[in-house]
Structure 1
Amino acid sequence: MNLQPYWEQPTLLHEHREEPRASYIPYGDIEGARADKRSRSPWYQTLNGSWKFSYRPRAKDVTTEWVDESFDATSWDDLLVPSCWQVQGYDQLQYTNVNYPFPYDPPYVPDDNPAGLYVREFRIGEEWTGKDTHIMFEGVNACFYLWINGSYAGYSQGSRVPAEFNISPYVRQGSNKIAVMVLKWCDGSYLEDQDQWRYTGIFRDVYLLARDSAHIRDVFCRTQLDEKLQSAQLHIELDTTGSTTVALQLSNREGQKLLTEQAEMNGKETISLQIDSPTLWNAEHPYLYELVISSGEEVLRFKVGFRQVEIKDGVFYINGQDVKLKGVNRHDSHPELGQTIPLQHMIEDLKLMKRHNINTIRTSHYPNDPRFLDLCDEFGFYVIDEADLESHGDFSLHYGMKNSKALPNLPEWKEAFLERQVRMVERDKNHASVIIWSLGNESFYGPNHIAMAEWTQQRDETRLVHYEGAAHDPDHMQDQSSLDMESRMYMSVADLEAYAQNDQNKKPMLLCEYSHAMGNGPGDLKDYWEVMYAYPKLMGGCVWEWVDHGIKTVTEDGKPFFAYGGDFGEKPHDGNFCIDGLVSPVRKPNIGLLELKEVYAPLTIEAVDAAQGKLKLTNRYDFSSLSKLTLRYRLQAEGTLLQQGELAAPTLAPHESTEFVVPINLPSIHEAVDLELSCILNEELPWADAGYALAHVQFEVKPRTVERFTRPLLPTRAVHALEQGNTLVMEGFDFKHTFDLSLGTFVGMTKHGVHMLAAPAQFQVWRAPIDNDRNEKHAWQGQGLHRAVAKIYRAEWEQLSAKQVTIKVHYSLGGYSIRNILQGMAEWTVDSRGDITLKTNVEIKEGIDFLPRFGLQLTMPKGNEAVTYYGLGPHESYIDKKLSVKRDVYRTSVDQMHVDYIMPQENGSRYSTEWAVVSNLLGMGLRFTAADSFSFNASHFTPEDLTKAGHNVELVRRDETIVHVDYKMSGVGSNSCGPRLMEKYQFNEKSFTFEVKIQPIFTEDE
């Protein structure tokens, strides 16, 4: 038997494959269908499990004797199906973003095209006698050939949509043999160039179905609401394979039968049902009706949600309400299984999203497992369902070219484009959660996309059509009338607002990707949503992306870590660009997700007169009151609880605002007083327990009235200074400090003989680049920031009184081969208590756009592990990443302050700190206070350590504690892929004064 090389023929997409249909499983009775467990159907038989497997490096070298029934494959390997063969030890693990992993030569792929040969036995029992036998592959990457009992049964490509075959002519009662050959690449791989790990194999479920010879082949449930949303039509389009009696039963969620219908059918026919006063489906109240359809010995069950999706006057509406899509992009990703996703894993993803106020998912960039959409229907999510189509490598090669030979423009590729849309729409058309069909991602824009859009609108007028790639046709050289919205990636906040303000822009705007959540970020979420809420024309958007795509592995010496691109020696690769999610590979929320939770919160609380407890509340729900929420408040002063209580959330319709008063009593104290409110669930929901906090906000209601920076000196004590060579020694009652005049800094600080410094203090302008610094770090490195050292021009000291010594240092910072970065004068003062005050005036040289940071770095000896601070916490915060923190007194440790990013980078800083103490466990250490709040960090890694390491497992923990007291640090933004850091978050001051006090202490209350 000769193998036909279908894998390089873009017009040959399948052979003997069934027409696409809606996703369903036929059951034997209503009870089995309601159980929603596939294994309870007598007409279902899984083929998941252990298969015999042989990996072959070249498909062209494979002969077909192994498909014969007589071939003995017992010596082959055992491979679990479903699975991706790369995570099972075969072939090459590879992560690439834009670039194709093979030479660009469409439709051809390399001759060294790996193939996986799969073989197993299965049995058909007597109960299937007289039935047609179908086999369903829910996902196979990239293409495959099928044989049953030695007979060729078909071919299919298109990795993430189902392929169904009627194998009745080839099967028999009793034992049967199935053989499948899967190829790594085919011409379709040019359309599957998504930003992801490149996996191969039978990676989703495989199963058999027994069907009546005359059965219901397809079902399409369309819902239509009247103008007042008070009555609905359910149009049920049925397609049968022959003459059969069809019975329909519609029930509500409570199990009450509403309508029944029976009809004789043969072929396609539509049955319409009228429902008065329907309960509508939306993401906040995902109410689903049950439709049961019976025919012969089969029972089909569908969940039906009545909802209306439309655009009116440039505004996006669901069920007559303008809605904001608060979304994320989600890949199928598992740290051990690759793209094979267990059902419980999907459930945990959705629960986690719900708990963080996410209401929308873009299935980037392909249809997910069909069970995922069942869950979205039930939990309540709006889904942008995206076709398995991305030709990013082709797009980048043709970008900017007119009349290019890009694939969307080539007629011979039209059917390949169109079929991917058709198969997705037909599979997912009965899901209420799907509100928008997407034509794919980053594939340029041409006639082939237009054919997809036009077919989609004709097939399903109840949903909208999206495609961001049309943005790369700004002059509308191609027809965009079939696209219902404008869509952009990583649009700046300013450009987003400009679009909304331009009356010439008639379509609503969706940011299908924004706020790139890579590493220590994102830092621009609040800015986007201030604009989103301000303009009805803006639909919302989806953060890129949900999860870090690290692969769980171990180093040679057995240390576990998450691998990224290049860790397996693959070429090409895109490094850690796959580590860009809101959650870790094991679904631990990154701090970026906590920030997003606050931005997507179901209510907004603003101060009207905070001192009087007078606040303004806005209901951000689209369809809900606030009845499920309770407001819990706390009044506190620097860690001391003054008052607490609970209030019922005001009665408020969606999108409305009201003022309310929290009954607080302000005390007569010197400390600053803060009012904190938390939005608490007062009942249990499927995704969260009662008492779970959906949002929080904090207001300063009383400012501090006494300056904390200064302390009165003790009248009986003095400080004595003695210059010994280049060293100035200053001693007092219980301290001894050492200043190196040639280095221009302190090299020793002691109290009662306890050493507080392990290395000279120094000024620091460098931070270990975060992922969002990737476009700035080259400029910073070119300016020498990473190698900056101090030049001391002169250091002078004087003692004007017995209680004070002053040292003045004129210095600059610079690196070899380049101009100095800055010039400054530092004035150090030591008083009779041993307190050290630094005041430095700094001038930044021309050509420095903005600095990562400026501050003082101190190295404290081993044992200084305890940290107490008054500022924002409990986790890291930056000038543009502080929505999920609150001001309080926090007690933590140096290790707990570290954020263990997979790719090491700047982390753990606490923005707006008022004071901090780093000490040993007995409270012996240093206390830091500033005239103004400062950014504070304590770590066991220097910025150089973090810069040098490529993976967190490479970090070597220092015994010493590295303390940073920063005047300022630039924000984190989302510039790893998004727009440049907003100017207001850049540390771009050209001159400034920084003042900080360092106090050696033995107890925190000194």
Structure 2
Amino acid sequence: MLPVKKYWEDPHVLHVNRREARASYIPYAGQAAARAGQRGGSPFYQTLNGSWKFQYYPSVTQVQDGFYDEKADISGWDELLVPSCWQVNGYDQLQYVNVRYPIPVDPPYVPDMNPAGVYVREFNMREDWESKKKFIVFEGVNACFYLWVNGVFVGYSQGSRIPAEFDLSHVVKKGRNRIAVMVLKWCDGTYLEDQDLWRYTGIFRDVYLLAREQVHIRDVFVKQTLTDDFSQAALNVELAAEGSAEVKLELQDAEGKPMGSTAAVIDAQGCVELKIENPQLWNAERPYLYQLYISCGEEVLRFPVGFRRIEITDGVFKINHQAVKLKGVNRHDSHPELGQTIPVAHMLQDLRLMKKHNVNTIRSSHYPNDTRFLELCNEFGFYVVDEADLECHGIGRAEDWAEGAFHKLSANPEWKGAFVERAVRMVERDKNQPCVILWSMGNESGYAENHIAMAQWTRGRDSSRPVHYEGAAPIYKGNPDVSSLDLESRMYASVEDIRVYAEDESQTKPLFLCEYSHAMGNGPGDLKDYWEVIYRYPKLMGGCVWEWCDHGIQAKTADGVPYYAYGGDFGEEPHDGNFCIDGLVTPDRVPHTGLLELKQVIAPIRIEEEDLKKGLVRLTNLYDFIDLSHVALRWKLEKDGRAIQQGSVWELSAAPHAEQLLKLPYELPEAQAEQLLLTISCWLKDETDWAEAGHEIMFRQFELAAAQAAGASAGGAVPGQGAGGHAAGIQVKEEAGTLTVEGFDFRHMFDMHLGAFTEISRHGVAMLAAPALFSIWRAPTDNDMYIKKKWQDKGLDSAKTKVYHCAWKREGEHAVSVEVRFSLTGYNRYPYLYGEAVWVVDGTGAIQLDSKIKVREDLEFLPRFGLQLTMPQGMEEVEYFGYGPHESYIDKRQSVKRGRYRFKVDELFEHYIMPQENGSRFGTEWAVVSNALGMGLAFQASEAFSFHAAHYTPGDLTKAAHTYELSKRKETIVHLDYKMSGVGSASCGPELLEPYRLNEKEFQYKLTLLPVFKEDGY
């Protein structure tokens, strides 16, 4: 039996012997070392990262007493790297759950079978540390742990993602020492850590020793005041010392130039002031950092100083007196192989990607991140919403969201200390980080007295930053006292909801969308709509897309095929499936097209038409603090997908929030039938820490009509159109229900029973491998989560054609028409729609479709409507004029450019971890699918259509749960859609907006199919 108390089920015991929370720092031996910031370069720092002896037990009750003894035999134990997570190293159960607890809900109790991991390692203490105080710091341990050194119990701590520090001075000795740690998977704190993530356990962040002088600075709070005109700044540095400490403070600018210094004697606590004239201000666009050095004895502490003022005036969120829009993402700690252990290189990868995609804000969902991440945010320039490690989502779920259920823990006075401590430890650690602009009191935990106490303590400790907590929103029923909260916050409010709030004069707080526009799978599809409204109203301060990355875990099938696993793939129960695959980037940080869309929508430059005939465009600088002198501009005029004029503008000057009129020196050609495309791109002039010179910030396209000719098209002629044969007479015959139409160089066959073409060929080259069919089904996207059930319940996924009437007739010597009346219906269902289709084949071999469709009145909007063609093996070449280079949809097309594109079929495919509709091209003017010799089918419609080509049918994608389950077809499946419904963000957000639904009850669709030999057209 272990000689430890059962602290893990006592909400009144949050720690034993743990030091009070303090600001994050590492003591160094001089200013140069402190400025370099390399922990290992400090003689007062010693890492305990590395290989530890490790023993896993399915239950803490199985742990044998004595493992912590100096002489305990651990030679047969496993080796485990620290920091790391058990579950990605083969111990315990990998498990993903969202809003549910993975344990029975019986707070503060947890299962008796509570897994435990015992860590042991030996370390040598440096001789020059003997006279110093010795401390150990655990940056992150999930969920609670007990600590022994040299056989002596040192302490206990819980609260997974915030440091725990213990004084070891009384137990360590010169030379060899042994440390033992017992980590438990669950404790009463588990009820406060029910975040939407993989449930990882272990010592997952750094562990290290610190040597401190007997008299030293224990805590520092760098407060600042700025005059209204920012001409003067004062640092009021609150110091807490152990003993009577002589200190010297020096402030240096970013280049290391001294800006002021002072000295003082601090007896336990004191405050020292430094003043500076005309300080340079910190913001995310120009993250200027001063460095404050505090010397005490041999130690030097360094703190970054970013002078900035955060305020709310007249309901507008401002930084340095400037209204700022937070263009953010929610970011979990997530690594596809290491779990929640995040290397610095991985943090840098995330931040550089975010910066490249115009993100300026990060919500640390839903817990404080590693302190080094915040230090990087200071340097790169990000606004951070620092969030307490607090979420008790499952409390509401356990009672099926009964009245008051969600607030049970927040309203329980027995848990007040646990709630408040989570704010205290976050604020004390991060209070000196300039990037932190908002304190968040956690996430989705109800709202009552305990949350109010958190917010009140936070405001009392740090009045310089607003306090946020979404759980107090009026949509939740609970305590109405929100006076301690400075913002109004919402999750997944609709565009209309935020507009109504912005126009409500009784609402005096700025509105922050802490989560919006769910980026799961093929999405999000509503970003443009949100940001049009956010920019329109000053009271709307922006928000954070959910979320940054897919939380897939690198895994392999039994056959060794690599894939990204999600909930349920490890046999765990309960689990929440692929709801963790909901990011803007893949687990290995490849951007999804949703991130490209976000980049364009929140771009810091807007370009609008002024007078395009004269080459005049208007640039609006949407940066808040910098002008456009760091940006250059390229422009290109295209005809038929080819550049005919182009140039650059190197001198841009618009001030923040100002406009600039620009004249582009192009000359429009003489009157002609073609339309022209003008593409304007803004890019970085110089290399930065996060992007190369020439990195594109944003673009804008305009259509120019050099002449208002009927049928003018920016795409020009379809390749191969008109080449080869001529409009000679045709031969038509019907035999055994098959209509055969033969011309000069083509032969087409139409099945009168199916009402469909079964063969289209030219010069004997077959263009079809199966009958052409009308189609309404798409493989549901993740954001189709709720409408999918309605679609499938009605059988849309198994819709079949019923032919009522099919007849043909000659249309003179050179054409034949086939009239078909049909419906699409499913098993045990009335028809979804009725259609009349007239197919006309002329002497060139062109097939023209004219269809009129009536959709059943009570049917929800359709996924799509169009023609599905199965083309033979070898039809791998795709050329089209439309939007590219990546996929686009009616509500997800801001990041694509109109132009002429060529791809292989596989290059059109977007590899979402959960297979779903992907790769469609909205607004296509024409497309050609052919073999390598250019032999294939050309498609053109009277109005732009949605085009899709893949080696999978919608049914293939619907059935597969992972990409590796897809079996690639040899044939090429082509969809030519009148319309495809948008993708939205309804897996967690509002329903798909009306303008993006295919909900027309009557429409007409015209399309032309032409067998072509493209090479003959050049």
Same fold (TM over 0.5): yes
Q: CA offsets per residue over residues 756-810 of structure 1, 9 Å max, x none? A: 1000000000000000101101111122210000000010000121100100000
Query: Displacement of 1:1003 after TM fit?
Result: 1.4
Q: Does structure 1 residue 581 correspond to structure 2 residue 592?
A: no
* Equivalent residue, structure 2, for 1:259: 260
Q: Matched residue of 2:34: which SS?
A: helix
* Equivalent residue, structure 1, for 2:38: 37
Q: Does structure 1 residue 683 correspond to structure 2 residue 686?
A: yes
Instruction: State the identity as a percent.
Output: 58
Q: Does structure 1 residue 914 correspond to structure 2 residue 925?
A: yes
Query: Displacement of 1:478 after TM fit?
Result: 3.3
Q: Does structure 1 residue 945 correspond to structure 2 residue 928?
A: no
| Letter paired with 1:286 | P
- Aligned partners of 2:549 and 2:584 also within 8 Å: yes
* Equivalent residue, structure 2, for 1:999: 1010
* CA spacing shift, 1:454–1:715, aligned 2, 3 Å: closer
| Letter paired with 1:423 | R
Query: Displacement of 1:400 after TM fit?
Result: 5.1
The counterpart of 2:881, out of the listed 870, 879, 901, is 870
Query: Displacement of 1:63 after TM fit?
Result: 3.2
* Equivalent residue, structure 2, for 1:789: 800
Counterparts of 2:20 and 2:343, CA distance in 1: 27
* Equivalent residue, structure 2, for 1:67: 68
Q: Does structure 1 residue 749 correspond to structure 2 residue 725?
A: no
The counterpart of 1:935, out of the listed 933, 946, 965, is 946
- Aligned partners of 1:468 and 1:512 also within 8 Å: yes
- Alignment coverage as a number of residue pairs: 1006
* Equivalent residue, structure 2, for 1:705: 709
| Letter paired with 1:791 | K
| Letter paired with 1:254 | E
- Aligned partners of 1:810 and 1:824 also within 8 Å: yes
* CA spacing shift, 1:798–1:460, aligned 2, 3 Å: same
* Equivalent residue, structure 1, for 2:813: 802
Counterparts of 2:771 and 2:115, CA distance in 1: 58
| Letter paired with 1:95 | Y
Counterparts of 1:615 and 1:576, CA distance in 2: 45
- Aligned partners of 1:917 and 1:1004 also within 8 Å: no
| Letter paired with 2:581 | I
- Aligned partners of 2:396 and 2:406 also within 8 Å: no
Pairing 1:76-115 to 2, within 5 Å after superposition: 76-115=77-116
The counterpart of 1:735, out of the listed 723, 738, 746, is 746
Counterparts of 1:844 and 1:473, CA distance in 2: 37
Counterparts of 2:933 and 2:940, CA distance in 1: 20
| Letter paired with 1:679 | C
Q: Does structure 1 residue 816 correspond to structure 2 residue 827?
A: yes
Pairing 1:229-308 to 2, within 5 Å after superposition: 229-308=230-309
* Equivalent residue, structure 1, for 2:522: 520
Counterparts of 1:246 and 1:408, CA distance in 2: 42
Query: Displacement of 1:715 after TM fit?
Result: 6.8
Structure 1 unmatched runs, 5+: none
Counterparts of 1:649 and 1:698, CA distance in 2: 21
The counterpart of 1:419, out of the listed 407, 418, 421, is 421
Q: Matched residue of 1:75: which SS?
A: coil
Q: Matched residue of 2:595: which SS?
A: helix
The counterpart of 1:846, out of the listed 846, 857, 862, is 857
* Equivalent residue, structure 2, for 1:630: 632
Counterparts of 1:475 and 1:403, CA distance in 2: 10
- Aligned partners of 1:395 and 1:442 also within 8 Å: no
Counterparts of 1:764 and 1:456, CA distance in 2: 58
Q: CA offsets per residue over residues 500-552 of structure 1, 9 Å max, x none? A: 00001000000000000010000100110100110000000000000000000
Query: Displacement of 1:987 after TM fit?
Result: 0.8
The counterpart of 1:988, out of the listed 975, 996, 999, is 999
Counterparts of 2:199 and 2:772, CA distance in 1: 48
* Equivalent residue, structure 2, for 1:435: 437
* CA spacing shift, 1:552–1:716, aligned 2, 3 Å: closer
Q: CA offsets per residue over residues 439-488 of structure 1, 9 Å max, x none? A: 00000101000000000000001111000000156677331101000000
Counterparts of 2:572 and 2:655, CA distance in 1: 55
Pairing 1:425-574 to 2, within 5 Å after superposition: 425-472=427-474, 477-574=479-576
- Aligned partners of 1:408 and 1:444 also within 8 Å: yes
* Equivalent residue, structure 1, for 2:352: 351
Query: Displacement of 1:706 after TM fit?
Result: 5.0
Counterparts of 1:878 and 1:959, CA distance in 2: 26
Counterparts of 2:865 and 2:56, CA distance in 1: 56
- Aligned partners of 1:611 and 1:702 also within 8 Å: no
* Equivalent residue, structure 1, for 2:902: 891
- Aligned partners of 2:933 and 2:1015 also within 8 Å: no
Counterparts of 1:58 and 1:930, CA distance in 2: 67
Counterparts of 1:649 and 1:499, CA distance in 2: 40
Counterparts of 2:406 and 2:674, CA distance in 1: 68
| Letter paired with 2:784 | D
Query: Displacement of 1:653 after TM fit?
Result: 1.6
Tell me whether 708-717 or 170-179 shows the greater mean CA deviation. Answer: 708-717
Query: Displacement of 1:110 after TM fit?
Result: 0.4
* Equivalent residue, structure 1, for 2:179: 178
Query: Displacement of 1:230 after TM fit?
Result: 1.3
Counterparts of 2:502 and 2:407, CA distance in 1: 34
Structure 2 unmatched runs, 5+: none
Counterparts of 2:811 and 2:31, CA distance in 1: 94
TM-score, normalised to structure 1, is 0.99
The counterpart of 1:726, out of the listed 727, 731, 737, is 737
* CA spacing shift, 1:140–1:476, aligned 2, 3 Å: closer
Q: CA offsets per residue over residues 411-434 of structure 1, 9 Å max, x none? A: 000000000000000000000000
Q: Matched residue of 1:775: which SS?
A: helix
Counterparts of 1:497 and 1:71, CA distance in 2: 66
Counterparts of 1:658 and 1:475, CA distance in 2: 48
Q: Does structure 1 residue 693 correspond to structure 2 residue 692?
A: no
Query: Displacement of 1:613 after TM fit?
Result: 2.5
TM-score, normalised to structure 2, is 0.97
Counterparts of 1:905 and 1:624, CA distance in 2: 41
| Letter paired with 1:982 | L
Q: Matched residue of 1:425: which SS?
A: helix
The counterpart of 1:621, out of the listed 623, 642, 651, is 623
* Equivalent residue, structure 2, for 1:651: 653
* Equivalent residue, structure 1, for 2:128: 127
The counterpart of 1:901, out of the listed 902, 912, 918, is 912
The counterpart of 1:610, out of the listed 612, 616, 633, is 612
| Letter paired with 1:674 | L
The counterpart of 1:855, out of the listed 866, 877, 882, is 866
* CA spacing shift, 1:34–1:84, aligned 2, 3 Å: same
- Aligned partners of 1:445 and 1:472 also within 8 Å: no
Q: CA offsets per residue over residues 798-834 of structure 1, 9 Å max, x none? A: 0121100100000000001111100001100111111
| Letter paired with 1:644 | Q
Q: CA offsets per residue over residues 151-191 of structure 1, 9 Å max, x none? A: 00000000000000001111100000000000000000000
Q: Matched residue of 2:165: which SS?
A: strand
Query: Displacement of 1:908 after TM fit?
Result: 0.5
| Letter paired with 2:458 | T
* CA spacing shift, 1:497–1:866, aligned 2, 3 Å: same
* Equivalent residue, structure 1, for 2:203: 202
| Letter paired with 1:455 | W
* Equivalent residue, structure 2, for 1:671: 674
| Letter paired with 2:227 | D
Query: Displacement of 1:292 after TM fit?
Result: 0.7
Q: Matched residue of 1:974: which SS?
A: coil
- Aligned partners of 2:325 and 2:542 also within 8 Å: yes
| Letter paired with 1:676 | T
Query: Displacement of 1:851 after TM fit?
Result: 0.5
Q: CA offsets per residue over residues 827-867 of structure 1, 9 Å max, x none? A: 00111111111111000012112111000000000000000
* Equivalent residue, structure 1, for 2:52: 51
